[in-house]
Amino acid sequence: MLDFSSSFCDILKNRMAVFLCFLFLIISSATGCDRCVHQSKVAYFSKASALSTGACGYGSMAIGFNSGHLAAAVSSLYKDGAGCGACFQIRCKNTALCSSRGTTVIVTDLNNNNQTDFVLSSRAFMAMANKGMGQDVLKHGILDVEYKRVPCEYKNQNLAVRVEESSKKPNYLAIKLLYQGGQTEVVAMDVAKVGSSNWGFMSRNHGAVWDTDRVPAGALQFRFVVTAGFDGKWIWAQKVLPEDWKPGMTYDSGVQITDIAQEGCSPCGDGIWK
């Protein structure tokens, strides 16, 4: 694990380390207390397909995530794409209509509506209801809710890397991360040829998509910097893309993220539903 404290930044003077330290500290300071319970409102899209064309770049794959329980999140939760794939537990406050359990959603889009923190798929919206009251919940259109971030869990599923169709050997590689577990954010990414220590950084193109125009030849490995605990951590995927990688294909990274980030924010309790 790498500690991204100020002393760590002082010690590591190379360009990449300074960049990562600065990026991590900026994101950490701007991040709200995800683990806290927040009060807000949610609305819904009548079709989950509306969220599949979202800002995260998941495309039609999004419809298959989390049984279609999807959400567009406001910019403070979307976090310029770092919030893509994050999981939130949401429940409506009308106990006559809704269960105390609520539902869990995955962020797949940016919500530009400042009246609600989330816009949910209709399936997720109805999942907040008490048994047999899904249609009654839909009739309200907008509901008062409370929500908190929770770890994403993918049983028997590693973090996956999908090569975007826009990728073109040997000059351009764009990938997106799928099935990101834990309660973290990927804040930086490097790529190198398998067996090489000559790492090159990738940039976030948009949403969950990262790219580079300096593509190493051969099979490729990746390393990610994720928020973890109160600091940062490297996740190293040693063999991900084969030498003959192809656009449109999805590859198993061989690793999964299980960490939970602890933001440097005011205490808010343990986030347990009352």
Digit-coded pLDDT (tens) for 11-44: 333 434 444 444 444 444 334 566 689 999 999 9
* 125 and 46 in a common domain: yes
Tokens of 102: 């609520």
* 199 and 102 in a common domain: no
pLDDT band at 53 (very low <50, low <70, confident <90, very high): confident
| CATH code where residue 185 lies | 2.60.40.760
Whether residue 266 is contained in a domain is answered as no
* 226 and 179 in a common domain: yes
DSSP states along 224-252: EEEEEBTEEEEEEEEEEE-TT--TT-EEE
Whether residue 1 is contained in a domain is answered as no
Q: Closest Cα to residue 112, out of 77, 62, 66, 147?
A: 77
For the chain, what percent of residues have pLDDT higher than 70? 80
pLDDT band at 46 (very low <50, low <70, confident <90, very high): confident
* 172 and 95 in a common domain: no
Per-residue pLDDT tens digits for 204-245: 999 999 999 999 999 999 999 998 767 788 999 999 999 999
- Look over the chain and give the mean of its residue pLDDT values, rounded to a whole number: 85
Whether residue 274 is contained in a domain is answered as no
Structural domain containing residue 225? 6-28+155-252
Choose the final residue of a domain: 90, 115, 150. 150
Helix%, strand%, coil% for the chain, nearest 5: 20, 35, 45
* 164 and 109 in a common domain: no
Tokens of 109: 């889009």
Average pLDDT estimate for 176-197: 95
* 138 and 181 in a common domain: no
CA–centroid distance for 259 within its chain:
13
* 42 and 146 in a common domain: yes
Domain count, the chain: 2
Choose the final residue of a domain: 129, 150, 171. 150
Handedness of CA 27, 45, 180, 61 (dihedral sign): negative
| CATH code where residue 120 lies | 2.40.40.10
Distance CA 135, CA 180 (A): 32
* 97 and 10 in a common domain: no
* 51 and 116 in a common domain: yes
Average pLDDT estimate for 162-187: 95
* 160 and 109 in a common domain: no
* 127 and 78 in a common domain: yes
